Structure 1
């Protein structure tokens, strides 16, 4: 379920921070401490996001959530709580992967580095494994975002579910199209958006937390009004 996902992300950050400390280089410890601070912010936000989804659907099972969001895609893309949660989760993706404006994965200034400060002392297969793991995590989070907050059909809108092979291929094409659009949009964003100053890095995280809390308040208020209307 999503609780396990949150703790697996935390475990990955923790192991990476330990790897930075193990190098003995001062920048490794600096990068490790920043990584754990970034994850603290994202973990708080993820738990609020998890609470909002649990209140909305009464479950945190990933497979059930994917099914519910796919079946109700028309409501997902227009209801305020999902728009707030989607924006919050996208900010979490930037935090978890050290993207601009949180961090700059291509920077060469050690004092401004986040995760890259950890990998300065690594090379060869070890560095390749770290880079590979980061790419996998980035792809996983984008996939989670697509299935939770962009479930609208594209190709499958014109394919009958009875045609199982065609429908499955349509689902795959839908996913690839959405993934390419997100990556392209993120690339344009990073070209035109500079990295934040270190003192301002917390702001997007706080905005993500506020957005998740607003979604929870909206869900609870809507439920209370519905109960009051029934009574």
Structure 2
């Protein structure tokens, strides 16, 4: 690995780490504005993380090693997954490991340990949240793989860097509208489900009848809670990056020239922040679904991603 490749990895790592709390702050700010509230500024998540890192965690007496280890496993696996997704340049230095399956299972690893931690804390809310998260994860992961494979067939590769590079060269969604549009809608629904957004979950609630993600992390505090919240922001960043760079790859750098990289950073930040605004508006327009309705929504995402694959072969005949 050359020095330039190493610098690109460091740049992407700091970009994801630094930008993910801002994305959460933008969504909260948009929701506050839509609800006619003043709300906190977009940099409030940075202050929240700094405050939590300064506090000592409290651990349940019934918890085993899984409970304190989960925040570190969740944070590291999510950060590793973020390095497989191209942000500012299509041919990422780690593209040799950037397979779709590797990305999905790195994210699933963190979710698996988070469910174990919810059970390990001995809380009734934690067990309830883990059970609900298992239902959501079992429905979203197949749909996520199929939606990404629908685009991978067009690019001729399951490597994420190759997919982004091919769609950037061929103008993305314009290349194959019907399959890509269905895969885009499916991936957007999956993004809302995997990141715990409305209408699947509500990250701002603590009502026991509606909690999913918040129920699993209810027993966390201090630096453990900071790592979990930061990992949740990075996971949201990963899915937004997939949406903007696979289906709207305009502006992403395809060469290592300084001008292309600088433009790639500006365009990437603009696209991700713009999509965060869209999600904030979307959450204010829809109410949270009942739990038994969530399976119907995720089933629709699976059907759309499956139809995207079918339409790819039909249009090639």
Q: Flag whether TM exceeds 0.5 (same fold).
A: yes
For the 8 Å contact 1:77–1:152, the answer to whether it is kept is no
Deviation at 1:68, TM superposition (A): 0.3
For the 8 Å contact 1:85–1:215, the answer to whether it is kept is yes
Match for residue 131 of structure 1? 229
- TM-score, normalized by length of structure 1? 0.89
**Match 2:144 to one of 46, 66, 69:** 46
Deviation at 1:174, TM superposition (A): 1.0
For the 8 Å contact 1:142–1:179, the answer to whether it is kept is yes
Q: Answer yes or no: is 1:60 the counterpart of 2:158.
A: yes
Q: Give SS of 1:112's match.
A: coil
Match for residue 207 of structure 1? 300
Tell me the alpha carbon deviations over residues 169-198 of structure 1, each in whole angstroms, 9 at most, x when there is no partner: 111111111111100111111122111111
Give the Cα separation in 2 of the matches to 1:45 and 1:149. Answer: 17
Unaligned runs of 5+ in 2: 1-98
Q: Which moved more, 1:198-207 or 1:93-102?
A: 198-207
Deviation at 1:144, TM superposition (A): 1.6
Give the Cα separation in 1 of the matches to 2:250 and 2:185. Answer: 16
Give the Cα separation in 2 of the matches to 1:180 and 1:75. Answer: 20
Match for residue 222 of structure 1? 315
Q: Answer yes or no: is 1:3 the counterpart of 2:90.
A: no
The 1:162–1:65 alpha-carbon spacing in structure 2 relative to 1, beyond 3 Å, is closer
Q: Give SS of 1:111's match.
A: coil
Match for residue 270 of structure 2? 177
Q: Which moved more, 1:162-171 or 1:38-47?
A: 162-171
For the 8 Å contact 2:150–2:305, the answer to whether it is kept is yes
Would you say how many aligned residue pairs link Structure 1 and Structure 2? 219
Give the Cα separation in 2 of the matches to 1:193 and 1:58. Answer: 37
Give the Cα separation in 2 of the matches to 1:75 and 1:89. Answer: 13
Specify which structure has the higher proportion of helix: 1
Give the Cα separation in 2 of the matches to 1:142 and 1:30. Answer: 28
Deviation at 1:149, TM superposition (A): 0.9
For the 8 Å contact 1:53–1:59, the answer to whether it is kept is no
Q: After the TM superposition, which parts of structure 1 deviate over 3 Å for at least 4 consecutive aligned residues?
A: 74-78
Give the Cα separation in 2 of the matches to 1:101 and 1:74. Answer: 28
Give the Cα separation in 2 of the matches to 1:191 and 1:40. Answer: 27
Q: Answer yes or no: is 1:25 the counterpart of 2:25.
A: no
Match for residue 118 of structure 1? 216
Match for residue 281 of structure 2? 188
- TM-score, normalized by length of structure 2? 0.65
Deviation at 1:221, TM superposition (A): 0.7
